[in-house]
């Protein structure tokens, strides 16, 4: 085989390898962005087809991170205390969070599973039931603050009196953003 033909074959192979490496770089560098794009697109298509949740602005959400289902009496108490016409409970239970791996990323993954578009985080009315594991709840609260732009209200549960049919009752709705605002005045 003459030398110029060998150089042409080598150049062709080098070009193909370079294109493959470029594509690999572009896609691996942008995978999180592409995943978010695909997720948001599928959510919008699902809602456009009429199979998704109610449109933004009409949703009243209880984000339940407690790993225990909200019982009917608790749901009614939350709805009454917040004076909401209805409510939708989103169970985002943490389960077992691994202490061996990237703890923050694993906790944030549970928030990512909540089926809300970025603009819905800004427009839906919501309250949270905290997780019992303090380090996880701390990360969750920071993540929620970042998505919402404010601290969400928190449902505080307490043991119910002995003859009650539900073991825990809603003690209060804690307005954490108001707590933060009052604390800033003490600086």
pLDDT at 56: 47
Please give the average per-residue pLDDT across 151-165, as a whole number: 88
What's the pTM value of the predicted model, to 2 decimals?
Answer: 0.67
Report strand pairing: 153-159 vs 168-174: antiparallel
Instruction: Give dist(CA 44, CA 22) in Å, integer.
Output: 31
Residue 58 confidence class, pLDDT cut points 50, 70, 90: confident
Sheet holding 168-174, edge to edge: 88-91, 60-64, 125-129, 153-159, 168-174
């Amino acid at each position: 085989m003459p030398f110029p033909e060998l150089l042409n074959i080598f150049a062709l192979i080098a070009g193909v390898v370079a294109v493959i490496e470029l594509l690999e770089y572009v896609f691996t560098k942008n995978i999180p962005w592409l995943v978010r794009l695909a997720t948001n697109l599928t959510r919008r298509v699902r809602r456009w087809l009429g199979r998704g949740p109610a449109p933004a602005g009409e949703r009243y959400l209880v984000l339940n991170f407690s790993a225990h289902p909200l019982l009917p009496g608790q749901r009614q108490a939350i709805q009454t205390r917040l004076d909401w016409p209805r409510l939708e409970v989103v169970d985002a239970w943490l389960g077992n969070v691994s202490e061996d791996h990237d703890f923050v990323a694993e906790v944030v993954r549970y928030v990512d599973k909540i089926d809300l578009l970025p603009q819905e985080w800004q427009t839906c009315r919501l309250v949270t039931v905290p997780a019992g594991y303090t380090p996880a709840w701390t990360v969750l609260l920071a993540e929620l603050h970042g998505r919402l732009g404010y601290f969400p209200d928190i449902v505080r549960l307490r043991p119910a009196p002995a003859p009650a049919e539900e073991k825990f009752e809603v003690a209060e709705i804690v307005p954490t953003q108001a707590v933060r605002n009052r604390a800033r005045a003490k600086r």
